[in-house]
Amino acid sequence: MRRCVVSLGVGQRYGVGLKRLGAGLAANGYVGAISLNNEYPAGCPTHEDIPYGFKPWLIDRARRDGYDQVLWMDSACVAVRPVDGLFRQMHRDGVAFAYSPFRLWEWCSDACAEKMGVLRARLRGMCPSMWACVMGFDFTHAKTNEFLDRWLAHSRDGVTFHGAWTNDNGEVSADADVKGHRHDQTVACILAFEMGLPFSWDVVQYDVQNIMPLEGYESALTIPAFPTYILSNHNVKTRPHAD
């Protein structure tokens, strides 16, 4: 199996994250290709053009380059233990998707739901949600290729990846309970539910005041028993909602 870890971090702050990401993988014995991009490759959509559209584009580029397994990691992530288990999981299941504590229906725009043909009543039944900060793909599985093809197509439809992060003034939904739109993550989550792809591991099995400061990541590399594969610089609760 040809493996590749892929990430993008444009600008100085995110470039520091890429270096930390590479160091964490090396420190934990990762063997495989690494594609850490500090600028947008030719042809890659910018975040301003398509919010997070670079993510499926870069994963697809790795697929087109002939990699059988691709692990996407946001530049704010770092491996604190070997990631071999994630590759074994994606080989078994086709994907390695992590569940998150967010309710999908609270983070989906009306336009996205309509474009994808999903009623809000159905969205409320899609729980738990998933993280898109770390995503694994094994392209020897037909369903994995179908997922990426559909996710990539939605990134280009001009609707589903677009929308405000907030809904304070009804920016993305007439439903006052909707908090905003989560772009690539919302679309990926809906597709995964539709296709029966599992969210089968926990990216937030840690609680360091809910956020680990950036300077804390390097020291985390020296703690071999740290209780998770991946740490991510996101302000999240440590358990999914019960419903």
SS (H, E, C) 111-164: HHHHHCCCCHHHHCCCCCEEEEEEEEEECCCHHHHHHHHHHHHHHCCCCCCCCC
**pLDDT one-digit tens code per residue, 139-165:** 999 999 999 999 999 999 999 999 999
Domain borders along the chain are 3-232
* CB 208, CB 197: distance < 8 Å: no
* Predicted local distance difference test score (pLDDT) of residue 202: 64
Q: What confidence score (pLDDT) does residue 229 get?
A: 35
Closest listed residue to residue 189, CA positions, set 129, 242, 149: 129
Cα separations (Å) of 136 from 75, 201, 222?
Answer: 15, 11, 25
Q: Which residue has the tokens 């360091």?
A: 208
Collapsing DSSP to helix, strand or coil, 231 comes out as strand
Query: What is 3-232's CATH topology?
Result: Spore Coat Polysaccharide Biosynthesis Protein SpsA; Chain A (3.90.550)
* pLDDT band, very low/low/confident/very high, at 231 (cuts 50, 70, 90): very low
pLDDT > 70 in the chain, percent: 81
Residue 216 binned pLDDT confidence (cut-offs 50, 70, 90): low
Mean pLDDT of 176-195: 92
Residue with the larger pLDDT of the pair 219 and 70: 70
Across all residues in the chain, what is the average pLDDT?
A: 81
- Total Cβ atoms within 10 A of residue 38: 16
Residue 232 has pLDDT above 50, yes or no: no
The H or E element that residue 4 is part of is strand 3-8
Average pLDDT over every residue of 169-177: 90
Whole-number pLDDT of residue 211: 40
Check pLDDT > 70 for residue 169: yes
Whether 31 has a pLDDT exceeding 50, the answer reads: yes
Tokens of 217: 């990541």
209 pLDDT more than 70: no
Which tens digit of pLDDT belongs to each residue from 73-105? 988 777 777 788 889 999 999 999 987 777 888
Q: Which carries the bigger pLDDT value, residue 19 or residue 221? A: 19
Q: How confident is the model at residue 38 (pLDDT cuts 50, 70, 90)?
A: very high
Residue 234 pLDDT > 50, yes or no?
no
* Residue among 236, 240, 237 at smallest CA distance from 201: 240
User: Quick check: 7 pLDDT over 90?
Assistant: yes
- More confident call, 212 vs 60: 60
